[in-house]
Every structure is written in structure tokens, then in C-alpha cells.
Amino acid sequence: MGQKLAGKVAVITGGGGGIGKNVALGLAAEGASVVINDFGTGPDGIKLAEKAAAEVKKAGGKAVASFDSVTTVVSAEKIINAAISNFGRVDILVNCAGNMVGTSTLEITQEQWDATLAIHIGGHFACSQAAAKEMVKQKSGGSIINFASRGAFPFWGSAGSSYAVAKAGILGFTTALSQELKKYDIRVNAICPNASTPLFPSSDPRGGMGIPKTTSLDPSDIAPLIVYLVMDPAKNITGQFIYAAGGDFCIFDRPLQPKLYIRKIGKWTVDELGEVIPSLGLGQ
């Protein structure tokens, strides 16, 4: 067990399996006390959060399980209060909880759409608000890691518009929250992982969007980057979108960076636009 995070307390939502569980194990291995939140249940009937917490303890770490939903302010406060009541503080929040419907816009139901946004957007908001309030009171900074995705701008075949909207919203939330909390020395970053997970199981290398195909899809590969980002040496890193897969990571530029800028003095006419726009190759 390392001690780079000794005395720190972390909350990991969606921490019962996949990337979230590996992040919890990685944080605990560096001395952080962890609250593992997940309402899922395994095929044996045991709560996934309980299993993950037991795994952390077996490895010599400190952990408690939480089963509350991330989707409301009230339940999110209970998740953060689990850190306060058991370990006295909260320094790190990893918003890893998510879901995926994968249904097209023409077929998705209102309930499916709402459920996707409730867990992703609602969960990131509610848990971040509850954690940030405590971090501000503690006056010792803090770190929030959000989980976005390249699926915010699908390129390989959509996982569904609700998923794209949710993940794009998390990128916007990360940008705004990082600016709001900077004065409190609380940094906020977004991870766009590429790994085989319960939501996206795969054994085939995956790339695209200028990213080479992966050399590994092991979800444990994502954890070290997150552990580093919540450590003191990374205290000035905030508002970043970071891709992680295997031994790869990539710093993404901001969305909406100008690709082509054209100005005329005065108002465009439809005929003028009809002459200029076709020459830009937008439909090619």
C-alpha cells in the first residue's frame, strides 16, 4: 500500500465493478479511505458495492459501501454523508455511475430518455454539488473527476442520442464547474475512457477520431491516471478532457474550436450564401 493519498477520503459512484471498482482499488492502494457507491446486485444476490468494499479491505485499505441512487439531491447528499460520517471529510469525488439504452431517437421512450439523463447529468450534478459544498467548507481544495465519452460525438455508430446528449452535457458541466470552483482550489476534469466494461463489453481493439486502436481494453488501465489527477502534484490541472485507454492517454482540445471563419461587412443575402457555402466542401 502506498501513502500518496494518506488522509484523503474519496467517493466513487458506480464503483461496484468495471472502471469504477478499479479506481476505488487504486485510490485505496495509495492510502485513501473510499466510499464505494453502487446500487447494483450481482448474480449471487450480494450488492456490488459490498463486494468491492470487501476487496479493498482484503487488500489492506479502508472502505464502506453505499447503495443510494445518484439521481436526486437528497440521495446524493446521503452518498457524500457516508464519507463524512465514516471518515470525517471528503476530498475526492469520482462520478463513474452511468447507464446506456442504445435506442434510436425514433424508438426511445420518454422513460428511457429521462433515465439516461437522470443518471448521467442528474447524477454528476447532484453528487458534485453535495461533495463541493463539503470541500468548500473544509477549505482544503479537492478534486472531482467526471466520466464523459467520445460517444458525445458519435463516430462509430451511435450508442443512442440519449447517451450522446448525456455525455456531451458532462463535458459542458465539467467546463462550467471547473471555472466555478477554481477559486476554492477544487479542480474538475473529465475522463473519456476506452475499455471493456459491463456497458461496453469488447475484446476487439477500438480507435477512431484520430486515436490509434487500443493495445488493451483492461478497465484497470484507467485507474492510474485518475489516481494521479486527484493527487497534489496535479492540483493545477482543471477543466481538461482526457482520453485514457491501455497505455494511451490524450488531451482533447475544447469542442467548438473554430474550423473555418468567414466574415463580410453587412448582412449576407441568400444568393451570396448560395455562392459561398457550396465551395466550402461541408457536404463532402
- Using the 8-state DSSP alphabet, how is residue 216 labeled? -
Whole-number CA gyration radius for the chain:
20
Is residue 228 flagged as an active site residue?
no
**Spatial contact of 67 and 38, defined as CB atoms under 8 Å apart:** yes
In whole angstroms, what is the distance from residue 49 CA to residue 123 CA?
A: 17
In whole angstroms, what is the distance from residue 278 CA to residue 284 CA?
A: 10
- Number of Cβ within a 10 Å radius of residue 272: 12
* Catalytic-role residue among 163, 184, 228, 243: 163
Coil, helix or strand for 149?
A: coil
Coil, helix or strand for 52?
A: helix
Closest CA to 142 of 188, 81, 182, 186: 186
**Spatial contact of 147 and 95, defined as CB atoms under 8 Å apart:** yes
In whole angstroms, what is the distance from residue 173 CA to residue 106 CA?
A: 27
**Spatial contact of 59 and 21, defined as CB atoms under 8 Å apart:** no
**Spatial contact of 81 and 69, defined as CB atoms under 8 Å apart:** no
**Spatial contact of 37 and 20, defined as CB atoms under 8 Å apart:** no
- Active-site residues: which are they? 163
